């Protein structure tokens, strides 16, 4: 029998296994599921940005025909044993519970107060109108300065700032102050020949996933609960829902539907606990979906920020001291990504003296949620824009300034880790060599360059592989596929087992069908779930070799597994492929499977360099991105099309945040632009092709050298675009977004 | 009072009841079980509910269900011929142009509407034709390339059969 | 003796002490000794922190082993998207 040599497929670009369903409309997303007897849930939301809840009267609503159940905070658990360690962060369950359904107070316009289940969507909405809530309106706090004012209204009477030298005696809206530093700043600035300080602001931006949150929950009479929802982490949905409602997690089975975008915004829960509570009360399956308006008003965007950066350098551009004050809006509950911002703001640079002071500030706006490298894009905007301004002042090429100061392997970071096996140098070299860097520019056109960094996550993943009759492999993994990871898992499994890519059938299994998995996020799936998949395949291979040895009556040490086939090193007539081994299972020890489970405690950081060309119309302030090049270290690109896709998608989110996207609130804290018309995300006609360069500096701790790529792409674009626009217009605008009115006003101001 | 509507959807006669204020999107998704068209905004801004109404590109969320009376509707479910994908669908797969995929049904319909009237669009024309279809994952790059490639493929096979 | 470097938030509960030498061969026992030495330090300030052990960032430390001269730096917990 001739054995076909396996040609390695990692690094190739085959079509994804779920692709046909997605181009034909057959794929089912969060709102595409139904069950017999299903009823509709709807949420009553606060009309005030800040108010005490004096009472909720649901009697009129309950009496309406077709209304089957109503829930308020009274239906949620009162106390929690410990913070739920779900996903990548320990979540404060008191805060999460109150965000899902307000308890003593409403803290933002749109804050959920009650939920109803009724036989039609129309009846559910009418029932909401019949619920009477008695509010005592309170003054709202709507920006950083208002929140930090000594006389500011306090959102949480129990909030005493953490991280100050002495615990304060009075509550405030400053949830915490975090300081990270290395070296001696005073000495550093004393040695500097030039010192530059600037303040940069970013508005809140939403992740902008096109699919609103949606779920279907069905509670059985025996206490078993099924949830179908679009989420980045169905195990986290299980954990949070169980804790919030006081249910045993093992009684809840969550199926992650296909998901229409997440970017961090679908790593928490909003509707699922409500749908489950309504289903338990009504005895019917309950379907809920958010309107686009609710998505904007009541789900978490990325933080608005004000960051002041002060840099000291020698005249030759060598950076000596870097200091930042980072003020982040957390929204209504503590937990902005100020800490992550502090970890990333100066990490690309080897300046020996660094300090980042990060403030987590609550305001009467929706509680922020993770948004792709949370905290880092705002931080990179500040540092990279300032470095470009410094380069201009010193007469140094901005890319040369990066070369002169780029961090290298072995340089300690401000947060205590020492970077190793990084690819920043390689990314800078790729930028310098790229034709974009030396292409000519015309009038009213400018170029900007910026560096991005994210440290990435590892965490827990499980995978199983099963040998199916006919010799194909069923691969079960448990991290929702938001970017094509199913294909990457199949590629890694194919190369590990030595079989064709199309022989692998990957699926994202529900919480009852695969071992625990942390969320899809943190750029961890190709890295950690990929690792678990490889382990599962290796486990299967061990069983396959043992099985073949038993068939031949030989010592397993003689059996090799190569090109999808078991062979005997001492007898070339002994050859068994997967199909034959599957067929023999029923007459031997039974079915063949492999398991893999990992908890990767550390992960490989990813650096990027972006180059942007922007043209400005000096008469209107309108701008256009003419050219964009995204260069990033991927370690090893398992499926290059999907790696390129991450670079391109993240770049465009950053472009949108730089040029047009912002949350605009009125004086009462009501969001003025809760829709895609006025929350202006980039469309196809706004953009050029996004050129990409994948640098590969393999991460030695992964079987294929993978490092995460999903988040770093959003870190550098804002500074690259802002620097380019300012160069094109001759302005120095430091506040995002650079929308036409702001740009025009700066052009006119310079006279 | 529910309205009785007779329409043709994806080439098949379709008969249904709908409320006067139900949108065509509501009817497709909740009454007829055709969930391929998506609700991203319900205000005509995202294009994920794009359909062809008597051959013209519209957002199903901006059309009333009752307006489908006597008219022909093409949704994403009617684009492939059985298991034979349309070149647009095939090229989107070959270019790995989709990530989460939620915008793709609308993009296929909008791109089909373009190629039905203009078989040789350039990049700018494609970008403006798809400006009503929001995609948040891809940055549009691979989608544009796939549409241009599909147009070229369709021109070649039209030429081959001429 | 492994050396623990504390976060500013932790130092408010140790009377300003910022570096502590502990006789421990893994993170769990190092943390236990730290808590014993400073009873005023709340568990919430220590549990859930990341650490950098000899330069290597570890997200959820527990039984990671420490060498005699290991340096363990506490890092504030962060999330991702």
- Cα distances from A624 to residues A73, A377, A389, A618, A621, in angstroms, run 48, 21, 21, 12, 10
Task: List the domain boundaries for chain A.
Answer: 19-27+458-600, 31-136+209-298, 421-455+605-751
Contact A226, A198 (CB under 8 A): no
Token pair for B4: 């009785």
Question: Which of B76, B133, B139 lies closest to A24 in CB terms?
Answer: B76
CA A139 to chain centre: 33
For residue A361, what is the enclosing H or E element? Answer: strand A353-362
Quote ipTM for the complex: 0.97
Residue A48 in 3-state DSSP? coil
- Rounded CA-CA distance A585/A579 in Å is 10
How many A-B residue pairs are in contact by the CB < 8 A criterion?
Answer: 179
Distance from CA of A340 to the nearest CA of C (A): 6
- Mean pLDDT, residues A537-558: 97
Q: Does residue A303 carry a pLDDT above 80?
A: yes
Whether the CB-CB separation of A319 and A347 falls below 8 Å is answered with: no
Bridging pattern class, strands B50-53 and B72-74:
antiparallel
Q: Is A640 on the interface with B (CB under 8 A)?
A: no
Token pair of B125 as six digits: 């024309």
Q: How far apart are CA A124 and CA A105, in angstroms?
A: 24
d(CA A682, CA A735): 19
- Tell me the pLDDT of chain A averaged across its residues: 96
Task: Check residue A601 and give its pLDDT.
Answer: 86
Do the domains A19-27+458-600 and A421-455+605-751 sit in the same CATH topology, yes or no? Answer: yes
Which residues of C fall within a CB distance of 8 Å from A208? none
> A673: exposed, middle or buried (C-beta count within 10 Å: 0-12, 13-18, 19+)?
middle
C15 in reach of chain A (CB within 8 A):
no
State yes or no: pLDDT of B12 exceeds 50. yes
Closest CA to B104 of B135, B75, B77: B135
pLDDT-derived band at A163, boundaries 50, 70, 90:
confident
If 0-12 CB within 10 Å is exposed, 13-18 middle and 19+ buried, where does residue A527 land?
A: buried
pLDDT over 90 percentage in chain A: 95
- B97 close to B130: Cβ distance less than 8 angstroms: no
Tell me if A677 and B95 make a contact (CB, 8 A cut-off).
no
Q: Are A521 and A485 in contact (CB under 8 A)?
A: no
Beta partners for residue A339, in sequence order? none
**Are A717 and A658 within 8 A, CB to CB?**
yes
pLDDT band at A85 (very low <50, low <70, confident <90, very high): low
Lookup result for tokens 């009496």: A63
Residues of A with CB below 8 A from C77's CB? 89-90, 339
Task: Enumerate residues 297 to 356 of chain A having a beta carbon within 8 A of any beta carbon in chain C.
Answer: 335, 337, 339-340, 342-343
Kindly determine whether residue A641 and residue B40, on different chains, have CB atoms separated by under 8 Å.
no
d(CA A658, CA A733): 11
Q: Mutual orientation of helices A485-497 and A640-659 as an angle, nearest 10°?
A: 160
Q: Find the mean pLDDT for residues A563-585.
A: 96
Taking the Cβ of residue C73 and every Cβ of chain A, the question of whether any pair is shorter than 8 Å is answered with: yes
The pair of three-digit structure tokens given for residue A538, joined into one six-digit string? 């290796």
Find chain A residues with C-beta within 8 A of C76's C-beta: 178, 180, 339, 342, 415
The secondary element (H helix, E strand) that includes residue A176 is: strand A174-182
User: DSSP string spanning A309-331?
Assistant: EEEEE-TTS-EEEEEEEEEEEEE
Domains and CATH numbers, chain C: 2-75 (3.10.20.30)
E strand spans, A438-510: 445-454, 459-468, 472-477, 504-508
Query: What CATH number has the domain spanning B87-161?
Result: 1.10.150.120
Quote the minimal CA–CA distance from A177 to chain B in Å. 34
A648–B36 CB contact, under 8 Å: no
Cβ separation A343–C78 shorter than 8 A: yes
Average pLDDT score over residue span B7-35: 97
Q: What do you get for the CA distance between the two ends of chain B, in Å?
A: 52
Say whether the C–B interface has 3 or more Cβ pairs within 8 Å: no
Q: Would the pLDDT of A740 be above 90?
A: yes
How would residue A724 be classed by pLDDT, with cut points 50, 70 and 90?
A: very high
Contact yes or no for B102 and A690 at CB 8 A: no
Cβ–Cβ below 8 Å for A85 and C48 = yes
In our burial notation (b when 16+ CB lie closer than 10 A, e otherwise), range A623-655 reads: bbbbbbbbbbbbbbbbbbbbbbbbbbbbbbbbb
CB B71 within 8 A of CB B13: no
Which H or E run contains A292?
helix A292-298
Q: How confident is the model at residue C81 (pLDDT cuts 50, 70, 90)?
A: low
Q: How far apart are the C-alpha atoms of B149 and B147, rounded to whole Å?
A: 5
**What value does the mean pLDDT of chain B take?**
97
H or E stretch covering A70:
strand A67-71
Q: Which residues contact B156 (CB under 8 A, 6 or more apart)?
A: none
Note the pLDDT of residue A238: 97
Mean pLDDT across A408-433: 96
Among chain C residues, CA nearest to A302: C81
Residues in chain A: 751
The residue among A379, A451, A436, A425 whose CA lies nearest residue A692 is A436
Answer whether A566's CB lies under 8 Å from A559's CB: yes
Query: Is A240:A41 a contact under the CB 8 Å cutoff?
Result: no
Q: Is C5 on the interface with A (CB under 8 A)?
A: yes
Q: Left (φ > 0), alpha (ψ -120 to 50) or beta: where does A346 sit?
A: alpha
Q: DSSP letters along A582-624, please?
A: HHHGGGTT---EEEEEEEE-----EEEEEEEEEEE-TTT--EE
Cβ separation A210–B130 shorter than 8 A: no
Residue range A442-446: mean pLDDT, rounded: 98
State the residue for tokens 């908890």.
A599
- Tell me if A210 and B128 make a contact (CB, 8 A cut-off): no
Whether residue A83 has pLDDT greater than 70:
no
pLDDT per residue over A339-361, tens digit each? 999 999 999 999 999 999 999 99
Spatial strand order of the sheet with A286-289 comes to A67-71, A112-118, A39-45, A286-289, A214-219, A225-229, A252-256
Contacts of A2 (CB under 8 A, 6+ apart): none
The SS3 call for residue A465 is: strand
Given the structure tokens 């695969």, which residue do they identify?
A514
The predicted pLDDT at position A374 comes to 96
Cα four-point dihedral sign B118, B123, B129, B133: positive
* R_g over Cα of chain C: 12
Residue B63: which pLDDT band, with cuts at 50, 70 and 90? very high
Architecture field, domain A31-136+209-298: Alpha-Beta Complex (3.90)
Comparing C-alpha atoms, which of A328, A448, A318, A428 is closest to residue A377? A328
Q: How confident is the model at residue A88 (pLDDT cuts 50, 70, 90)?
A: very low
What share of chain A in percent tops pLDDT 70?
Answer: 99
CATH code given to domain A421-455+605-751: 3.30.365.10
Q: Is the pLDDT of residue C16 over 60?
A: yes
Pairing of strands A39-45, A286-289: parallel
CA angle in degrees (0–180, nearest 5) for A67-A72-A76? 125
Both structure tokens of A451: 């560096």
Residues 6+ positions from A329 with CB-CB distance below 8 Å: A143, A144, A147, A204, A303, A304, A305, A336, A361, A362, A363, A365, A368
DSSP 3-state of A199: strand
How many Å apart are CA B20 and CA B35, to the nearest integer? 21
DSSP secondary structure code for residue A80 in this structure: -
> What pLDDT score was predicted for residue B162?
54
Which residues in chain C have Cβ-Cβ distances shorter than 8 Å to A375? Answer: 78
* Interval A521-545: pLDDT, tens: 989 999 999 999 999 999 999 999 9
Q: How far is A301 from chain B (nearest CA, A)?
A: 15
User: What is the chain A residue with the closest CA to C77?
Assistant: A89
Distances in Å between the Cα of A158 and the Cα atoms of A168, A171, C36 are 11, 6, 28
Q: What is the pLDDT of residue C45?
A: 86
CATH of domain A19-27+458-600: 3.30.365.10
pLDDT tens digits for range A367-389: 999 999 999 999 999 999 999 99
CB-based contact A601 C64, cutoff 8 Å: yes
The answer as to CATH 3.10.20.30 being correct for domain B3-78 is: yes
What are the boundaries of each domain within chain B?
3-78, 87-161
Q: Backbone dihedral region of C78: left (phi > 0), alpha (psi from -120 to 50 degrees) or beta?
A: beta
- Beta bridge pairs of residue B12: B9
Find the residue in A nearest to B99 (Cα): A483
Q: Which pair of structure tokens corresponds to residue A186?
A: 């005073």
Predicted local distance difference test score (pLDDT) of residue A164 = 87
pLDDT digits (tens, 9 = 90+) for A98-153: 999 999 999 999 999 999 999 999 999 999 999 999 999 999 999 999 999 999 99
Provide the number of CB pairs (under 8 Å) joining chain A to chain C. Answer: 114
pLDDT at A733 over 90: yes
Binned at pLDDT 50, 70 and 90, residue A26 comes out as: very high
pLDDT per residue as tens digits for the range A43-59: 999 999 999 999 999 99
Consecutive H or E run containing A651 = helix A640-659
The whole-angstrom separation of Cα A586 and Cα A589 is 7
Which alpha helices (H) appear in B10-162, and where do they start and end? 24-26, 87-94, 104-117, 123-129, 141-161
Q: A504 pairs with which residues across the strands?
A: A473
Alpha-carbon distance A576 to A567, whole Å? 7
Q: Which of A24, A262, A683 sits opposite B131 (nearest CB)?
A: A683
Judged against a pLDDT cut of 60, whether residue A87 lies above it is answered with no
């Amino acid at each position: 029998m001739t054995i076909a040599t396996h040609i390695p497929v990692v690094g190739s670009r085959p079509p994804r296994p779920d692709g046909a369903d997605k181009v034909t409309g057959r794929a089912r997303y969060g709102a595409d599921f139904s069950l017999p007897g299903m009823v509709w849930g709807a949420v009553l939301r606060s009309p005030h940005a800040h108010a005490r809840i004096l009472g909720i009267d649901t009697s009129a609503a309950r009496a309406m025909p077709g209304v089957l159940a109503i829930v308020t905070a009274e239906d949620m658990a009162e106390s929690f044993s410990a913070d739920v360690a779900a996903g990548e962060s320990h979540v404060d369950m008191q805060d999460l519970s109150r965000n899902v359904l307000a308890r003593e107070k409403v803290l933002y316009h749109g804050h959920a107060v009650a939920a109803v289940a009724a036989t039609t969507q129309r009846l559910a909405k009418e029932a909401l109108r019949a619920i009477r809530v008695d509010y005592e309106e309170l003054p709202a706090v709507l920006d950083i300065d208002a929140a930090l004012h000594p006389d500011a209204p306090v959102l949480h009477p129990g909030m005493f700032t953490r991280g100050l030298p002495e615990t304060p005696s009075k509550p405030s809206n400053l949830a915490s102050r975090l300081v990270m530093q290395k070296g001696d700043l005073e000495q550093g600035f004393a040695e500097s020949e030039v010192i530059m300080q600037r303040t940069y602001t970013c508005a809140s931006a939403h992740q902008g996933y096109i699919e609103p949150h949606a779920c279907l929950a069905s509670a059985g009479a025996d206490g078993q609960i099924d949830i179908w929802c679009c989420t980045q982490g169905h195990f986290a949905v299980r954990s949070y829902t169980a804790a919030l409602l006081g249910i045993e997690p093992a009684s809840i089975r969550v199926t992650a539907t296909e998901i229409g975008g997440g970017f961090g915004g679908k790593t928490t829960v909003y509707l699922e606990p409500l749908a489950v509570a309504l289903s338990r009360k009504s005895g019917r399956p309950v379907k809920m979906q958010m309107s686009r308006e609710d998505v904007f008003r009541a789900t978490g965007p990325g933080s608005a920020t004000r960051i002041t950066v002060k840099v000291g350098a020698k005249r030759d551009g060598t950076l000596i001291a870097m200091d930042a004050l980072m003020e982040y809006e957390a929204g209504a509950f503590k937990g902005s990504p100020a800490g992550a911002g502090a970890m990333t703001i100066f990490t690309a640079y080897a300046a020996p003296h660094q300090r980042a002071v990060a403030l987590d500030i609550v305001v009467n706006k929706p509680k922020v949620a993770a948004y792709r490298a949370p905290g880092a894009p705002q931080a990179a905007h500040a540092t990279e824009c300032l470095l470009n301004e410094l380069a201009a002042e010193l007469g140094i090429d901005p890319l040369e300034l990066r070369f002169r100061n780029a961090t290298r392997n072995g340089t300690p970071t401000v947060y205590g880790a020492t970077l190793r096996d990084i690819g920043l140098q390689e990314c800078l070299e790729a930028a310098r060599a790229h034709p974009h860097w030396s292409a000519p520019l015309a009038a009213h056109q400018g170029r900007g360059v910026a560096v991005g960094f994210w440290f990435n996550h590892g965490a827990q993943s499980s995978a199983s592989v099963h040998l199916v009759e006919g010799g194909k492999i069923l691969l079960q993994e448990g991290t929702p596929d938001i970017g094509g990871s199913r294909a990457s898992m199949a590629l890694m499994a194919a190369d590990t087992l030595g079989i064709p890519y199309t022989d692998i059938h990957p699926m994202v299994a529900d919480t009852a069908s695969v071992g625990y998995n942390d969320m899809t996020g943190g750029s961890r799936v190709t890295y950690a779930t990929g690792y678990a998949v490889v382990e599962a395949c290796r486990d299967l291979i061990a069983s396959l070799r043992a099985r073949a040895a038993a068939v031949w009556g030989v010592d397993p040490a003689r059996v090799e597994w190569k090109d999808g086939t078991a062979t005997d090193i001492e007898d070339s007539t002994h050859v068994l492929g997967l199909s034959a081994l599957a067929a023999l299972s029923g007459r031997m020890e039974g079915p063949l499977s492999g398991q893999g489970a990992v908890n990767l405690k550390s992960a490989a950081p990813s650096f990027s360099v972006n180059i942007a060309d922007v043209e400005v119309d000096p008469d209107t302030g309108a701008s256009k991105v003419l050219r964009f090049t995204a260069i990033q270290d991927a370690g090893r690109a398992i499926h290059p099309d999907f790696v390129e896709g991450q670079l391109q998608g993240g770049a465009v989110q950053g472009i949108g945040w730089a040029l047009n996207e912002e949350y605009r609130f009125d004086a009462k804290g009501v969001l003025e632009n809760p829709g895609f018309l006025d929350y202006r995300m980039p469309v196809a006609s706004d953009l050029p092709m996004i050129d990409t360069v994948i640098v590969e500096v393999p991460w030695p701790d992964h079987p294929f050298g993978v490092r995460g790529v999903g988040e770093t792409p959003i870190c550098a674009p804002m500074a690259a675009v802002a620097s380019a626009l300012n160069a094109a217009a001759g302005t120095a605008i430091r506040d995002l977004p650079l929308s036409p009115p702001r740009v025009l006003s700066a052009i006119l101001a310079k006279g | 009072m529910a309205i009785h509507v007779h329409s043709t959807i994806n080439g098949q006669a379709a008969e249904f009841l709908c409320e006067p204020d139900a949108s065509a999107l509501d009817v497709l998704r909740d009454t007829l079980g055709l969930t391929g068209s998506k609700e991203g905004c319900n205000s005509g801004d995202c294009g994920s509910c794009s359909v062809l109404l008597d051959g013209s590109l519209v957002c199903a969320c901006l059309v009333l269900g009752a307006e489908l009376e006597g008219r022909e509707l093409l949704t994403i479910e009617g684009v492939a011929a059985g298991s034979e994908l349309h070149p647009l669908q095939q090229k989107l797969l070959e270019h790995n142009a989709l990530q989460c995929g939620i915008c793709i049904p609308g993009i296929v319909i909008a791109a089909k509407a373009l190629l039905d009237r203009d078989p040789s669009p350039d990049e700018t024309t494609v970008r403006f034709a798809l400006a009503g279809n929001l995609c948040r994952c891809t940055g549009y790059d691979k989608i544009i390339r796939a549409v241009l490639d599909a147009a070229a493929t369709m021109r070649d096979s039209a030429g081959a059969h001429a | 003796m492994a050396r623990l470097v504390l976060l500013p938030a932790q130092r408010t509960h140790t009377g300003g002490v910022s570096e502590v030498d502990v006789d421990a061969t893994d993170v769990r026992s190092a943390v236990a000794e730290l808590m014993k030495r400073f009873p005023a330090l709340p568990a919430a300030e220590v549990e859930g922190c990341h650490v950098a052990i000899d330069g290597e960032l570890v997200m959820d430390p527990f039984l990671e082993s420490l060498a005699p001269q290991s340096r363990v730096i506490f890092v504030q917990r962060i999330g991702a998207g």
